[in-house]
Structure formats: structure tokens, C-alpha cells
Structure 1
Amino acid sequence: MHTNQKITKSIVEDTQLWTDLKAGDEKAFSMLFERHYEQLVRYGNSFSNDSDKIQDCVQDVFADIWLYKNNLGETTNVKAYLLSSVRKRISRLQERDRIFNKITSTDVVNFLFDFSIEHQLINDEVTADKVYQLNKLINLLPSRQKEALYLRYNQGLSVEQIAELMDVNYQSANNLLHRAVLNLRKDWNVSLALLLALSPAIL
């Protein structure tokens, strides 16, 4: 891909691609697929260790989007829409194939995603050690608190979008995030300012 094409791809907003996709633009569809596929698979893998099933699930979501493009509505956040679609697809897959140990709801499926440290963002050894300890504590949080943190800081979703995606009300989503931060502060004696400063490097 030429440099100019890379630049064009980087500046095209998801919302514009969504609009073009709805109008039947195959290139827009392909760009959305390439932009979001890996992170959607990664999110799906947080609910199952059957990677092949999850990849099929994500591909089915995109296939349905293209198939029913004429019936798609407007969306203010394409990423949130895709994450929600994958989560719902997993739930249906779970009910059909019983691949999640016969659990009947994704609400009680463990969120398995491991937050990891991006070492290139951390130059100071002391800070790196603090981030490493914080990272360990995040991965010990209850699965729904960890998922809420992942959606908020890794995927950049709003509390409203998290609530819709996790099928809870706004207050419940806010409570999940609040309890997660309280648990981290309780187990890791650090100021909230430092916690929030370090979060982008982890999340």
C-alpha cells in the first residue's frame, strides 16, 4: 500500500466508512473489517479459548453487516456497535453449541483478557515496576469489573455505551468502573492521580 493510501486510511472516520458501507461501498466495508477485525477477535477470545469459533463469530458479524447493509441504522460509535454485535453473537453461539461449559448467559462467563504492559511507553524503571504491579492487580479483578475497565480504557467507550453493550443500566456500568478503581486503590496504595496517569500505559 502506498504512503498516501495509508494516510487516507488513517484519517477516514469510522462513521464515514459506515455511511459508505450502507451505500454499498465494498472498499469501505473492507477498511472497517481490516481496522477492527483483530481487536474484535481479541475481545471475543476473552470469553472462550476456542479461537477458531470466535474468529468464525466475528466473520459472521461482518457477513451479516454486509448482507443487511440496506437495513442498517445510523450509529455514533461504530466500534461500540461491533463490540456489542460480537458479544451478542457469542451469547447465541453459547446457547446453540454449549461451548462455554453449558453456562446460559455471558453475564457469568469469565472475562479472560489479560491486560499487558506496553514497555515502550515506560522509560523509568520505578514507574515500570509500579505499572507491572498494577497490571497484576487488574487481572485479579472480578471479570465484569475487568471487562468494564477494558471497554472504558482500552476501547475508549463511554459509560453509556458500556452499559448498553453489557446489557445493564447506566448506574450499574458506572458502579462496575467505580468498584474496580476502589479495589485497585485498596490493594495498591497509590494516589488516584497516579493510577489514572498509569492507566493509559496498561489499558
Structure 2
Amino acid sequence: MKTATATINLFDDNTLWNNLKDGDEKSFSMLFERYYADLVRYGNSLSLFEEKVQDCIQDVFTDLWVYRNSLQESVVVKAYLLASVRKRIARLHERDHIFRKTTTTDSIAFLLEFSVQHELVDDDYATKEKVNHLNKLLNDLPARQKEALYLRYHQGLTVEQIAEMLDVNYQSASNLLHRGLLSLRKEWKGSFPIILLLSSGSF
């Protein structure tokens, strides 16, 4: 397993993407293995139907291979894949009438629960009760704010990429992040920085 992982990590995303465009099946498989777990995790945050989420991810990769000749030359692969899965799930919601019909992805609710682990916070900075309070603050945020924070601090996306994924302009995406952090900072009484907790926590 370690050998396989090491082999995958030898190639950066751009190299694998360009090789995929040229029809290299091994590069296609490497991208699938590199991002499948992240895509499943994110997909499950947008839908309660795990099997359908996996189907959506399979469809995204099928389209990648079938339409590889028309793929953009330069993309941020992780952001592209996350956005593709989000759009695919949105279409699934529309088709199945799970949510109201819409031409955007606004109606998708972010479902994952955020959890800052007690062991990540030194007792000198916060008590167990304070960490529990922080988790509650995080999970009480509006779904769009929580999703924006997840994409920024757990998936490492830029504000521009988040804006594109959520189908909003740059300022709206920036506002989502700002309001989410502002709300947390207003209520968080611990001395451990919120940003570090967001980056270290898990969904």
C-alpha cells in the first residue's frame, strides 16, 4: 500500500491531467485513487444517499475519460473534481425531486458535522467544555458558511475557486467566509486561534 501511494505522489496533478488528456490510462487511475476518498466525503456532505454519491463520482470520472480530448489545458484538478461532483449531485437532486428544481446549486444543504477533537487543543488553551462549545458554534453556522469554511480550510481551495463551486461571485464567497469566521470569533472565548482549530479539525 505504501509503495502504491508513493508512486501516485511522484506525479503532480498537472502532469497526470496532461497525461490523461493524451489518453494515458495509468494517469487517469492515479487521479481517481488520489481524490476518490475526498470526493466521497464531500459528496456525502451534500446527499444522504451514499450509493448515488458514488455513482455521481463514477460518472464524473467516466466523463473525464470520454471527453478527455476537450478538457481544458490548465485546471486546478482538485477544485475541478469537487465542482464537478457538486454539479452532478445538484442535477441528481433536480431529477429525483429531492429539492425544488433550480438552475443553480443553491438548494444543496451542507450536511457534514464539524468536530474539533479535544486532543488537538492543549489544556492550557481550552477546557473540554470550551471545545464542545466551539463544535456547537461551528455546526450551528448556516450551511453555506460552513461549506465555504470546509472548502477553504480542509480542501485548501481559494476564494475564487469557492465562488465558482458555489455559483456566486468573489465578494459573496468572501462574505460567506468572513461572516462564518466573525460569528465564531464573536462567541469563541478560548485563546487558541480559530484558524488553527478549523485547519486541524475534521468533518
TM over 0.5: yes
Question: Sequence identity of aligned pairs in percent?
Answer: 58
User: What do residues 108-158 of structure 1 show as CA deviations (whole Å, max 9, x unaligned)?
Assistant: 3321011233566x2634547344432221111000000100100010000
- Report the counterpart of residue 89 of structure 1 in structure 2: 88
* Residue 31 of structure 1, CA deviation: 0.9
CA contact (8 A) 1:21 1:28 kept: yes
* Equivalence for 1:124: 122
Q: Please, what is the CA RMSD of the aligned residues?
A: 2.1
TM-score (structure 2 length as normaliser): 0.88
Long gaps (5+) in structure 1: none
Secondary structure of the 1:82 match is helix
TM-score under structure 1 length normalisation: 0.88
Is 1:159–2:146 an aligned residue pair?
A: no
Pairwise CA distance, 1:34? 1.0
Give the residue type in structure 1 aligned to 2:141.
Answer: L
Partner of 2:134, secondary structure, is: helix
Is structure 2 residue 160 aligned with structure 1 residue 145?
Answer: no
- The one-letter amino acid of 2:165's match is L
1:148 to 1:2, Cα distance in 2 relative to 1, 3 A:
closer
- d(CA) in 2 for partners of 1:114 and 1:11? 33
Spell out structure 1 runs of 4+ moving beyond 4 A. none
Structure 1 residue 197 displacement after superposition: 2.6
Cα distance, 1:123–1:173 mapped onto 2, change above 3 Å: closer
- Paired residues for 1:52-201 under 5 Å: 52-98=51-97, 100-102=98-100, 104=102, 105-118=104-117, 122=120, 124-125=122-123, 127=126, 129=128, 130-190=130-190, 194-201=193-200
Aligned pair in 2 of structure 1 residues 118, 75: CA closer, same or farther (>3 Å)? Answer: farther
Separation of aligned partners in 2, 1:38 and 1:95: 25
The Cα of 1:16 is off from its aligned counterpart by 1.1
Deviation at 1:196, TM superposition (A): 1.7
**Gapped regions of structure 2 (runs ≥ 5):** none
